[in-house]
Structure 1
Amino acid sequence: MAAPYPVNATPPAPTAAPVIRTIELSDLGEALRLGWEDFKAVPSHAIILCLIYPVLGLVLARTVLGYAVLPLLFPLAAGFALLGPFAALGLYELSYRRERGEEASAWHATEVLRSPSFGAMLGLGTLLLALFVIWVATAQAIYVAAFGYEAAAGIPDFARRVLSTPQGWWLIVVGCGVGFLFALVALCISVVSFPLMLDRHAGAAGAMVTSLQAVAANPVPMAAWGLIVAGLLVIGSLPFFLGLAIVIPLLGHATWHLYRKVIEPITVSHAPPPLAKVPRYAADFPVSLFQWRRKDS
């Protein structure tokens, strides 16, 4: 894979705004393929970085069932789409290292913590977390509006309410519509933000603006990418969230390669260094007119 600048060379500090490319739907498949190659090359990180997500999913499911707030199980699972871009920081670092031809192992994922822009990443991650909390609260309010505060007796009763009553159909339509809006906001502000901050040490505000511009320049591919992310997260969540151990690394690596396709890489100028100035003295005035005699002497 060609690196955007020579291996072992320090990229220049960007002074101009990132150049956004127009991509095709085929580029999404290529990004997923390259992401899968990264996942196969560094498979050990799936356990270290992503084991927390299936475990968290199981804990959330048990908590939901235990406290009789079963309606929140789906919104909590859907929240992975909102927090995923921030959770995949270590995966971007691994893809970045492989791209530069450097050693990449699970432990190298923690190098992202030393990034000069980690504070900006943390700030944007906090924004996504707030978005997740607001989404869960909104989902709870929608359920209460449909069925009131009476808790479901169990999974069969909850399924009957949602799937066989007018209130349940209203809940599905409104809940999915509102959830789509939350996911759209998260996609627009973060689709290339975190890779851009890692690659060019951009600020959070500038990265979000670039992400919005990238979505505006590629509305159809970005919409398709959002559907791909949502579909893969649903598939990964079905077997008790265990599939997320594969889906999240795949999407994390693929997001890095999508960023490379959307944002024009930085090029390094190989201009020759300026000539060193030789001090001139007044006594050298006659000789300086004849440089060849000066060299011989």
Structure 2
Amino acid sequence: MAQPSDTPPPPAPAREEPGPPFPVVRVVSIGAPLRWIARGASDLKACAIPSLFYGFCFAAMGLLLTVIFRHAYQYTSALTSGFLLLGPFLAMGTYELSRRRERGEPCALLPTLTVWRRNASNIGVFAVVLGVIFLVWARASLVIFALFYTGEMPSLAGFVAQIVSMQNLDFLAAYFGVGLIFAFVAFAASVVSIPLMLDRNQDAVSSMIASFAALLRNPGAMLVWAALIVSLTLIGFLTFHVGLVVMMPLIGHATWHAYRDLVEPLAQK
């Protein structure tokens, strides 16, 4: 008769913790972006010093863009798009400031500087996606210039004059039409992506799908939100980048509140 073995049974395989559920996107009113801006202004006032630190970072980035623009104005739209594409990453600190204020924590700058480490792998994937969009648009921008200016490139003054006087309408329609397509894709993928990845450790794919869903379910509100972002950014550029010190943190804080309004909170266990 076989004797029972003294060898302990092998340990049961560890069960993987389930990831966060897919975000549920809500429908908001067309005027909701104005509410987000108002709440963002409240956060900016309450967390002025760390928020303005990020504002100065944006202003420095804008000045760098201006230097490049002087010598390569054919990249104007591409570089501006690049500025807006990088915006969500520079604004991560402002998202965290709004999150900390929401939770009753102090508005400290230091913890926000490395907030990306909370979900570095997925934020990295998202960065690659936006980086590819930017590189493709930069190449498309050059191709459009090459197609319409087969000879010598116009001077900067001549190029601006064409835009103001609406000359060469075929070129302007192609250039800004194609740029609008790339801007739409980048905006649609970014509406709530990074706040989701920071707040819930959501994966990059689900976050981007949720952003597209937010756009599709709220076209009116998203149109107003996009117009506000472009308008506030334009004010920053037109004030020789000084306005970016305030405008960009304001947009960052407002983006956090957009995320809170657009995405259903997780059910408390």
TM-score under structure 2 normalisation? Answer: 0.85
One-letter amino acid of the counterpart of residue 56, structure 1: M
Alignment map for 1:81-230 (pairs within 5 Å)? 81-115=84-118, 117-148=119-150, 150-153=152-155, 155-164=156-165, 166-167=167-168, 169-230=169-230
Quote the sequence identity (%).
Answer: 33
Match of 2:6 in 1: none
Question: Do 2:94 and 2:253's aligned partners in 1 also have CA atoms closer than 8 Å?
Answer: yes
- The one-letter amino acid of 2:26's match is R
Letter in 2 for 1:234: L
- Residue of structure 2 equivalent to 1:284: none
Letter in 2 for 1:64: F
Contact 1:71 1:140 in 2 (8 A): yes
Q: Would the aligned equivalents of 2:78 and 2:134 in 1 still touch at CA under 8 Å?
A: no
Partner SS, residue 48 of structure 2: coil
What is the aligned length? 253
Q: Check conservation: 2:59, 2:244, Cα contact below 8 A.
A: yes
Q: Distance in 2 between matches of 1:13 and 1:257?
A: 27
The alpha-carbon deviation at position 133 of structure 1 amounts to: 2.2
1:47 CA displacement: 4.1
The offset of 1:135, in angstroms, is 1.8
Q: What is the distance in 2 between the residues matched to 1:50 and 1:70?
A: 25
Gaps of 5+ in 2: 1-16
Q: TM-score, normalised to structure 1's length?
A: 0.78
* Residue identity opposite 1:179 in structure 2: G
2:41 paired residue among 31, 36, 41: 36
Q: Which shifted more, 222-231 or 48-57?
A: 48-57
Q: Name the Cα RMSD after superposition.
A: 2.2
Deviation at 1:57, TM superposition (A): 2.3
Select between 246-255 and 82-91 the one with higher mean Cα deviation: 82-91
Report the counterpart of residue 239 of structure 1 in structure 2. Answer: 239
Deviations 1:59-104 (A, max 9, x none): 2322332x4x222234312432222222211111111111100111
Q: Distance in 2 between matches of 1:150 and 1:163?
A: 20
Counterpart contact for 1:237–1:243, Cα < 8 Å: yes
Structure 1 range deviating more: 31-40 or 243-252: 243-252
Per-residue CA deviations over 1:96-148 (Å, capped at 9, x if unaligned) read: 11110011122231241331x12211220222122122222222221222223
- 2:236 and 2:81 map into 1 onto residues whose CA distance is 11
C-alpha contact (below 8 Å) 2:62/2:83 kept by paired residues:
no
Partner of 1:44, secondary structure, is helix
Out of 181-190 and 143-152, give the one that drifted further: 143-152
Give CA deviations for 1:185-222 in whole Å, capped at 9, x if unaligned.
01211101111111110110111111122222112211
